[in-house]
């Protein structure tokens, strides 16, 4: 136990809000205790946070949630054996018991010569403030009022909007500390706020639904409340009169919010876990051209207020900006220390996943892409999970709009689009500048040369 410091039975967010020093002391104690009982190396994370979420439907409060969470997790190594344990109790007895549990687990796990912390030389030593925390001092009553305004704005779009799945607002903030026995310790406060709305339109006994939402770390970066509602209303209204289409091969545009799924698939295929397990359609792709010249992706962990911004990864390894994909050529993988060792490489600072991914755009907006495509399918919603990571085979249910003569002709539904990701990446014709920034992957709409389109 650290002299002069008493561990509380619980943490009061109001009194100890974002107290980094408090969490550091907990982490230091856990690491000291792990070493005392015989661990050869260890790492811990301590966190706490609060959040509130409300939703309204048809002008009335439907759900109200207030959460307050605490967490402690430890991974320790006993030679080549590893054990992990976690707890939501931050009392000193619970901390010690959790470390003991991890050590006992390590006694029985199979040894692995690659187990261990990331190399000490890779630890981050620059802790620049990336402005990731902004408290939203808003009452529950005010949140309810704003959600009602959001939903009402959707209904105001048209009398054809007759029902609602609700409007919601959420706000959360928290803090964490990661530390390991290399002597590394780091952490920072974070926040996340969001607004969303989903409504239903009806015409001639046919109904359609759609939604829109906005999320950001800082409240000022959220879309206006009424704008989110109007977007949800307009998107829903535009889907009325949806038709089926005949099976064909045609160009396809993935609208920006959907296009980020294509980027996610590529990132999964060049991530360490899938690579060393031989479960990727892009094995041995480093330095090779796997996509068209149109695809360039930058990884930037240092964007102020970014969704996936951080000076270090989940193992304390320093992050770096890099050109991940350059005109279709894979410049690097995404590796944790373990996956890097399995591949005979070095960690890239991606334990926990990719950091902010910025897809280079062209000079056309979505309407420009539609004119360029001339005839084909604009996809605005996908259903199911239809990607085989080993082969790259891709098949998803979809809905959207059929394009004729460079303009939207009519909405379509109950169709399936299919292809292979290895071909789809090479068939990227253009990427729009209508960048979608909700989340950690920023991309515009993506136009593909051709896909198989089947009516269900």
Higher pLDDT, 144 or 3: 144
Task: Report the percent of the chain where pLDDT is more than 70.
Answer: 96
C-alpha span between 405 and 389 (Å, rounded) = 36
Band of pLDDT at residue 2, cut at 50, 70 and 90 = very low
pLDDT of residue 452: 97
pLDDT of residue 3: 26
Average pLDDT over residues 117-130: 95
Average pLDDT over residues 95-123: 97
pLDDT of residue 50: 95
C-alpha span between 88 and 41 (Å, rounded) = 23
Task: Report the percent of the chain where pLDDT is more than 90.
Answer: 93
* Per-residue model confidence as pLDDT tens digits over 248-305: 999 999 999 999 999 999 999 999 999 999 999 999 999 999 999 999 999 999 999 9
Only one residue has tokens 């005109």, namely 327
Band of pLDDT at residue 114, cut at 50, 70 and 90 = very high
* Per-residue model confidence as pLDDT tens digits over 77-96: 999 999 999 999 999 999 99
C-alpha span between 183 and 274 (Å, rounded) = 31
Band of pLDDT at residue 5, cut at 50, 70 and 90 = very low
pLDDT of residue 200: 97
pLDDT of residue 1: 24
The answer to whether the beta carbons of residues 367 and 397 sit under 8 Å apart is: no
Average pLDDT over residues 349-353: 96
The answer to whether the beta carbons of residues 58 and 164 sit under 8 Å apart is: yes
Q: Look at residues 314, 279, 38 and name the one whose alpha carbon lies nearest to residue 176.
A: 314
pLDDT of residue 456: 65
Average pLDDT over residues 312-341: 98
Taking the CB of residue 80, how many other CB atoms lie within 10 A of it?
15
Only one residue has tokens 């089926």, namely 244
Average pLDDT over residues 396-407: 96
Higher pLDDT, 201 or 3: 201
Statement: residue 17 has pLDDT above 90: no
* Per-residue model confidence as pLDDT tens digits over 352-384: 999 999 999 999 999 999 999 999 999 999 998
What angle, rounded to 10 degrees, do the helices at 140-155 and 225-237 form?
A: 30
Statement: residue 8 has pLDDT above 80: no
Statement: residue 445 has pLDDT above 90: yes
pLDDT of residue 401: 97
* Per-residue model confidence as pLDDT tens digits over 130-172: 999 999 999 999 999 999 999 999 999 999 999 999 999 999 9
Sign for the pseudo-dihedral over CA of 430, 431, 434, 436:
positive
Task: Give span(s): CATH 3.30.2290.10, the chain.
Answer: 13-235
Pairing assessment for the beta strands 297-299 and 357-359 based on DSSP bridges: antiparallel
Q: Which CATH superfamily is domain 13-235 in?
A: PmbA/TldD superfamily (3.30.2290.10)
Band of pLDDT at residue 446, cut at 50, 70 and 90 = very high
DSSP three-state, residue 172: strand
pLDDT of residue 36: 97
Only one residue has tokens 């590796």, namely 335
């Amino acid at each position: 136990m650290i002299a002069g410091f008493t561990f509380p039975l619980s943490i009061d967010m109001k009194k100890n809000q974002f107290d980094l020093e408090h969490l550091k002391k907990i982490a230091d104690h856990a690491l000291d205790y792990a070493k005392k009982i015989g661990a050869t190396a260890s790492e811990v994370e301590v966190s706490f946070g609060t959040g509130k979420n409300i939703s309204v439907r048809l002008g009335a409060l439907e759900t109200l949630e207030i959460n307050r969470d605490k967490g402690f997790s430890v991974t320790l190594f006993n030679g080549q054996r590893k054990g992990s344990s976690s707890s939501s109790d931050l009392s000193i007895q619970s901390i010690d018991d959790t470390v003991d549990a991890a050590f006992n687990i390590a006694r029985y796990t199979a040894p692995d010569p690659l187990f261990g912390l990331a190399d000490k030389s890779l630890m981050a030593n620059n802790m620049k403030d990336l402005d990731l925390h902004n408290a939203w001092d808003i009452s529950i009553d005010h949140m309810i009022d704003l959600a009602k305004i959001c939903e009402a704005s959707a209904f105001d779009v048209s009398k054809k909007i007759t029902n609602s799945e609700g409007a919601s607002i959420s706000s959360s903030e928290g803090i964490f500390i990661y530390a390991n026995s290399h002597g590394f310790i780091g952490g920072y406060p974070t926040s996340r706020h969001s607004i969303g709305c989903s409504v239903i339109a009806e015409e001639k006994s046919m109904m359609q639904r759609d939604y829109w939402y906005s999320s950001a770390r800082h409240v000022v970066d959220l879309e206006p409340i009424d704008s989110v509602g109007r977007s949800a209303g307009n998107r829903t209204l535009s889907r009325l009169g949806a038709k089926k289409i005949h099976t064909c091969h045609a160009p396809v545009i993935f609208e920006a919010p959907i296009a980020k799924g294509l980027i996610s698939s590529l990132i999964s295929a060049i991530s360490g876990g899938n690579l060393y397990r031989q479960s990727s359609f892009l094995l041995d792709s480093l330095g090779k051209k796997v996509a068209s010249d149109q695809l360039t992706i930058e990884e930037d962990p240092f964007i102020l207020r970014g969704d996936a911004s951080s000076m270090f990864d989940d193992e304390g390894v320093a992050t770096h900006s890099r050109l991940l994909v350059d005109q279709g050529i894979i410049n690097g993988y995404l590796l944790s220390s373990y996956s890097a060792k399995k591949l005979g490489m070095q960690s890239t600072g991606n334990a926990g996943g990719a950091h902010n991914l910025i897809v280079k755009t062209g000079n056309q907006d979505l309407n420009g892409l539609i004119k360029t495509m001339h005839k084909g399918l604009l996809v605005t919603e996908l259903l199911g999970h239809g990607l085989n990571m080993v082969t790259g085979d891709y098949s998803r249910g979809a809905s959207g709009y059929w394009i004729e003569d460079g303009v939207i002709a009519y909405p379509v539904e109950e169709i399936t689009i299919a292809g292979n990701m290895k071909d789809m990446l090479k068939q990227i014709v253009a990427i729009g500048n209508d960048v979608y920034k909700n989340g950690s992957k920023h991309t515009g709409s993506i136009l593909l040369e051709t896909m198989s389109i089947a009516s269900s």
